[in-house]
Amino acid sequence: MCLGHIFSEVRDRQDVDWKKYREDKTLRMTVSDRLIVKYNAVSYPNESCGQYDSIESAINAIERRQQEMFDNLVEYDIVTIENM
């Protein structure tokens, strides 16, 4: 069973002071100092649930959307027709 998909998006931070790092070669930058990671949640079959900072938040968004879809199902009686 597939509830949805999560796509990660990685991009450079725009606020990095590159000049400072070029001038002082002893400075070190962590991955989180340089990159921004976002998680895009898509609920099955193909409905966007938004973009999140953590994978846990993206998973929760997919679960909430699936629960909403399940709660909105219309109940009906199943009728079986037998051959005579």
Using one digit for the tens of pLDDT, what is the confidence trace for 49-84? 999 999 999 999 999 999 998 888 766 656 666 776
pLDDT of residue 69: 86
82, part of any domain: no
Give the tokens for residue 78.
């199943």
pLDDT of residue 78: 62
84, part of any domain: no
pLDDT of residue 49: 95
Q: Based on C-alpha coordinates, what's the Rg of the chain? A: 23
Beta strands in the chain (DSSP E): 4-12, 35-43, 47-52
Tokens 């998973």: give the residue: 59
**Is residue 13 a contact partner of residue 35, using CB atoms and an 8 Å limit?**
yes
- Structural domain tally of the chain? 1
pTM: 0.70
Give the CA distances from residue 67 to residues 9, 60, 82, in Å, rounded to whole numbers and listed in that order: 26, 10, 35
81, part of any domain: no
78, part of any domain: no
Domain that holds residue 20: 4-71
Summarize the confidence of residues 11-27 as an average pLDDT. Answer: 93
Sheet with 4-12: strands ordered across: 4-12, 35-43, 47-52
11, part of any domain: yes
pLDDT of residue 22: 92
Give the tokens for residue 72.
């909105």
